[in-house]
Structure 1
Amino acid sequence: MRLGQTSVIHFTSRFFASLLGFVATIFIARFLGSGTLGTYYLVLSTVSWLGIAVEMGVPSAINKRVSEDEDEAAYAIAGGVIAFCLFLVVSVLILLFRHHINDYIGYPAAQIVVLFLFVNLIQSSVNSILNGQHLVHISGIFNPIRTGTRSIVQISAILLGLKITGLFIGYTAGYALVSVLGLWIAVRNFPSVSLPTLEHYRRIISYAEYSWLGEIRSRAFNWVDVAVLGFFVSSSLVGIYTAAWNIAVFLILFGGSLSQTLFPEMSSLSAEEDAQSVADLFETALTYGGLILIPGLVGGTLLGERLLRIYGEEFTQGTVVLSVLIVATLIQGYQRQFTTTLDAIDRPDVSFRVNAVFIGANVILNVSLIPPFEVVGAAAATAASVAISLVVAYFSLSSLIEFSVPLGEIGKQWTAAAVMGVVVYTGLWLESAHISVGNNLVVVITLVGFGAAVYFGTLFAISSYFRTTVDQNLPIDFPTV
C-alpha cells in the first residue's frame, strides 16, 4: 500500500509540474513564437547532452548505493565530489569551444549552458540522494515547485520585455530553489555523516561505469531527435516538434513515478537476495506501466489536432508527429520498467547493453529518417528504436529472473480505452455536427475530463485487480469496493 500511495503522490506532483510547464510553453509560444521556443529548446537539448559528460552515471550510482542503507552520507559526498570535478572539466571545454556552440544554437548561449549544467547537476544529485533514502514522494513534490517557480518567473520576465533572457532566468531560479530545499531535507535524513574512503569512491565508480549509458539512453529518448532536427530543419519546426513532445510526455509520467518508487525497494530486496519479491514488484510495474499511456494513445490520436491548436494554428502541423510520439512513449513506459529492474538487481552491465542498442538504433534512424521526412521521421525513429530496445530488454531480464507478463490486466486496460475512444469520438462528432461550442480549449478540457472518467470507470468495473489496488491505496476504507 505504501508503494502505491508513494507512486500516486510522485505522479500527481509530476503531473501538476508538467501541467504548469504546459501552460508556460503555451504562453511562450503565443508571445514569442515557435522560433524563440525552438531556440530555447535547442539550448536545453545542448545542456542535456553535455550533462552526460558532467554526470557520467554518478547520480544513478548515488541512488543505488544510498538505497542499500549503509554509509549513505559517505556515498553521497563521494558522488558529489566526482560529479563536481567532471563539471569543472566540461565547463572549461564549453568556454573554449563557445563559438561552435553558439553557431549551432543560433544564439550566444555558451555561458548560459554552463550555468544550466551546474543547476541541473546539483538538482539531479540531490534527487538521487532523496530517492535512495526512499523519499521518492518528497523528490516528486519538488517537481511542481521547480516548474511552478520557473514558469512564474519566465512569464513575469516576458511581460517585462526580457524575451528569451527571461526564459533563462526562470529556468535557473526553479532549479536553484528545489536544489537548496532538497539538500536541506537530505542532510537532515542521514542517520550519521562520515567522510568517504577510497572504497566509497570505488563503489560509486564501479556502478557509474555502466549506468552512465543509462543517462545517455534517457537523453537519447528525449533529445536525439531535437538535436538532429537542429541541423536539418528551421527553429520553427523544432518548436512545433517540441510542442507535440510536451504533450506526449504527459502520458509517461505515471510509469516514471512507478519505476522511481519501486527502484529503491527492488534494490533493497536484491541486496537481501530475495529474487521472488523483486519479480513480484516487476510484474506490478508491468501491470500499471500502461495505465495512463494506453488511454493516452487513444485519446491523443483522436484529439491531437485540437490539443496542438491550443499552442496556435501553426502548431497543428505536428498532428501526425504527436500520434507517433505517443506510440513511442507507450513503448518506453514498458521498456523503462525492464531497465529499472536490471539496475535494481545490480546488473547495470546488462542494462548497459540494452541502452547501447537503443542509442545506436536511435541515432542511426534519426539521421536516416529526418532528412527525407523531417519531424515525422524524427518521431518514427524514436518509436522504432525504443521498440527494438524493449525486445532486447525482455530477453535480457528473462534470462536473469522468472516473471510473467500480465496480459490479462493489460488487455482490460485496452478494453476500457476502447470504450473511452468511442465516447470521445462521439463527443467530437456531436460538437462538430450539432453543438458548436466555438471555444477549442473548452472542448478539449471537457472531452479529456469526460474521457478519463469513462476510462477509469470502465476499468474499475471490469478489473477486480484494479479495484483491489484502488481499495488498498485509498486513504480511507470503504466497506464494499
Structure 2
Amino acid sequence: MSNLVSSALGFLATIYIARMLGAGPLGVYHLVVGLVSWLAIVGEVGISRAISKRISEGEDQAEYVLAGTTIIVGLFVLSTCGLLLFRERLVNYVGYPATGYVIAILLVVLVNGLVNSLLVGLHLVHVNGFLSPVRTGGRALVQIALIVAGASTAALFIGHIAGYIVVIGIGTYFTARALPGLSRPRRYHFDRLVDFAKFSWLGNLQSQMFSYTDIIVLGFFVSSGLIGVYSAAWNIAEFLILFSGALSSTLFPEMSSLSSKDNSRAVARIVEQSLSFCGLFLIPGLFGGMLLGERILRIYGPEFPRGATVLTILIVANLLMGYQNQLLNALNAIDRPELAFRVNVVFVGSNVALNIALIYLYGWIGAAIATTISVAISLVLAYHHVDAVIDFEVPAGEIVNQWIAAVLMGGLVYVSLWAETTYGLLNHNVATVGILVVIGAGTYFAVLLIISRQFRTVVDQNVPFDLTLLSSE
C-alpha cells in the first residue's frame, strides 16, 4: 500500500510538472536522476545490500553498521572528486549546469540507501515501506511549490533532494531505536561485507540498468523532449511492478533468517508464494496498457500519446522483471550472491549491447525492445540457477488464473472503450480512463476471487470482512 500511494503521488506530480513545464525539463530531470542512479552503484558497490544481509543474520549488527558506513563515505568522496574533475563534460551531456545538484542528489541517495538497508536488515520493512510515500509526497510538494513560485528545472532537483532529507531523518530515528549501539568493527566485519558485496553490487547495477540504461543511451541520440515522453511511459510501467518489489523487500529478511537456520523447505515455500503473486498487478496491467495506454499518456499533455507503443513494450519488460527479481532475491537471501552475479552479468552485457544497437537502428522503440529482450534472457538463466539450489515448484496454476481473469477483464474494457468511442458517452478523457480503470480492476479481482482458492485465502486473511460467500466449499 505504501508503494502504491507513493507511485500515485509521483504520477500526479509528474502530470502537473509535465503540463506546467513540458517534456524538455522533465527529460533533463530524469536524465540526471538516471545518471545519479548509476553513480550510486559506484558510490556503494553493493555495500547496502551486504549490510541488509549481514544484519538480518542477527549477529554483530552494530559492527556491520559502522563498517558499511565507513566504506560508503569513502566511496562518496572519491565519486565527488570524479564529478568535479569532469564537470564540463557532465554539463554538456545533460544540457544543464547540474553538477552541484548531481553531487547533492548522490549524497542523499547513498545515505537513504544505507538507512533503507538497516531497516530491511532489522526486519523493519513496514517502516521502510512507509517512508516511500513520505519521500515522494515531500518531493512533489516542494517541486510544485517552487514551480508555482516561478522556478523551472531547478525546482525538480531541489524537491528531489528535500524528499530524501525528510525520510533520512525519519529512518535514522527508527534505526537508532532498534540498534543496540555502535561498536568498533574488526577487519572480519569489513571482509564479510566485501565478500557479499563483490557479487551483489552487480545486482544493484542490474536494477538501475533496467530502469535507466535506455534513458542514458537515449541521451546521446534523441532530444530531452523525447526522453521526457519515454520517462513518462516508464513511470506508468514501473507503477505496475511496485507490488513485486514490495514482495521482494518483505520476503528477503525472512528467507535470509530461515536460510541461516538451514530451513530449506520453508525458503522454497516463500519462493513459490512470491512467484504466485508477483504478477498480480503486472498481468492485468499489460492488458490495460495495450487498451488504454494512449489515453493515459494523453493526461500528461499533447506531446505524450506518441509513447503508447513504448509503454506496452515496457510493461512486458516489467512483467518479466517481476519474476526475475523474485528469483534473484531468493539467491541473495540464501547467501548465493555468486549465482545472482552470473545472471546479472548476462543482463548487464546484453542490455548495454542491445540498447546501443537497437536505439541506433530503431530509436526509442529499440530502447524498449532491448530492455525486454535482455530481461527475458536473464529470467531464463535465473530460473536455471534457483532450480539447481532450491527444491521448489513454479505455481503455474495460480499464474494461469491471473491470465484468465486478465483476459476477461480486457474483453470487458475493450467493449466499454468501443461503446464510449462510438457513442461519445463521456467525451472526457480523464473521466473515461478513471471509469475504465475502476471497471477493469473490479472485474479482474472479482474473477480472481472466484476462480483462485489461494487468492481467496490470502485476501480473507488480510481484510476485515468474511469472504465465505465466495468460497466453493
Name 1:225's counterpart in structure 2: 214
Q: Unmatched 5+ residue regions in structure 1?
A: 1-11
CA contact (8 A) 2:66 2:182 kept: no
SS of 1:399's equivalent in the other structure is helix
| 2:81 corresponds to 1:102 | no
SS of 1:313's equivalent in the other structure is coil
Name 1:78's counterpart in structure 2: 67
Residue by residue over 1:447-481, the C-alpha shift from the partner in whole angstroms, topping out at 9 and shown as x without a partner, is 11111011000000011111111112235666655
Letter matched to residue 422 of structure 1: G
Could you tell me how far apart the structure 2 residues matched to 1:161 and 1:136 are?
38
Name 1:302's counterpart in structure 2: 291
Letter matched to residue 373 of structure 1: Y
Is the deviation greater in 471-480 or in 71-80?
471-480
State how 1:135-150 maps to structure 2 within 5 Å.
Answer: 135-150=124-139
- The count of corresponding residues between Structure 1 and Structure 2 is 470
SS of 1:134's equivalent in the other structure is coil
| 2:402 corresponds to 1:375 | no
| 2:417 corresponds to 1:428 | yes
| 2:287 corresponds to 1:292 | no
Letter matched to residue 33 of structure 2: L
CA contact (8 A) 2:65 2:182 kept: no
| 2:267 corresponds to 1:278 | yes
Could you tell me how far apart the structure 1 residues matched to 2:467 and 2:445 are?
18
Could you tell me how far apart the structure 1 residues matched to 2:337 and 2:418 are?
50
Name 1:131's counterpart in structure 2: 120
Residue by residue over 1:11-66, the C-alpha shift from the partner in whole angstroms, topping out at 9 and shown as x without a partner, is x1111111111111111111111111111111111111111100100110011011
Counterpart pick for 1:388 among 377, 385, 391: 377
Could you tell me how far apart the structure 1 residues matched to 2:107 and 2:465 are?
43
SS of 1:346's equivalent in the other structure is coil
| 2:435 corresponds to 1:446 | yes
Could you tell me how far apart the structure 1 residues matched to 2:89 and 2:182 are?
43
Name 1:324's counterpart in structure 2: 313
Name 1:180's counterpart in structure 2: 169
CA contact (8 A) 2:54 2:61 kept: yes
Shift of 1:220: 0.6
Shift of 1:194: 2.3
Counterpart pick for 1:165 among 154, 170, 185: 154
Among all aligned residue pairs of Structure 1 and Structure 2, give the percentage whose two residues are the same amino acid: 51
Could you tell me how far apart the structure 1 residues matched to 2:116 and 2:328 are?
19
Name 1:40's counterpart in structure 2: 29
TM-score, normalising length: structure 1: 0.96
Shift of 1:230: 0.2
Name 1:398's counterpart in structure 2: 387
Name 1:189's counterpart in structure 2: 178
Could you tell me how far apart the structure 1 residues matched to 2:243 and 2:411 are?
24
State how 1:19-30 maps to structure 2 within 5 Å.
Answer: 19-30=8-19
SS of 1:232's equivalent in the other structure is coil
Shift of 1:434: 1.7
Residue by residue over 1:190-234, the C-alpha shift from the partner in whole angstroms, topping out at 9 and shown as x without a partner, is 144422222111111111111000010001100000000000011
Could you tell me how far apart the structure 2 residues matched to 1:388 and 1:205 are?
28
CA RMSD of aligned residues (A): 1.1
Name 2:343's counterpart in structure 1: 354
Residue by residue over 1:101-140, the C-alpha shift from the partner in whole angstroms, topping out at 9 and shown as x without a partner, is 1111011111111100000011111011001111111101
Could you tell me how far apart the structure 2 residues matched to 1:201 and 1:135 are?
24
SS of 1:108's equivalent in the other structure is coil
| 2:50 corresponds to 1:61 | yes
Letter matched to residue 172 of structure 2: L
Could you tell me how far apart the structure 2 residues matched to 1:195 and 1:447 are?
58
Could you tell me how far apart the structure 1 residues matched to 2:131 and 2:466 are?
29
Letter matched to residue 186 of structure 2: T
Name 1:17's counterpart in structure 2: 6
Could you tell me how far apart the structure 2 residues matched to 1:231 and 1:408 are?
44
Could you tell me how far apart the structure 1 residues matched to 2:186 and 2:462 are?
42
| 2:223 corresponds to 1:234 | yes
SS of 1:473's equivalent in the other structure is coil
Q: Unmatched 5+ residue regions in structure 2?
A: none
Name 1:9's counterpart in structure 2: none
Name 2:203's counterpart in structure 1: 214
Could you tell me how far apart the structure 1 residues matched to 2:354 and 2:24 are?
25
SS of 1:436's equivalent in the other structure is coil
CA gap of 1:293–1:478, structure 2 versus 1, over 3 A, is closer
TM-score, normalising length: structure 2: 0.98
CA contact (8 A) 2:401 2:451 kept: yes
Letter matched to residue 245 of structure 2: G
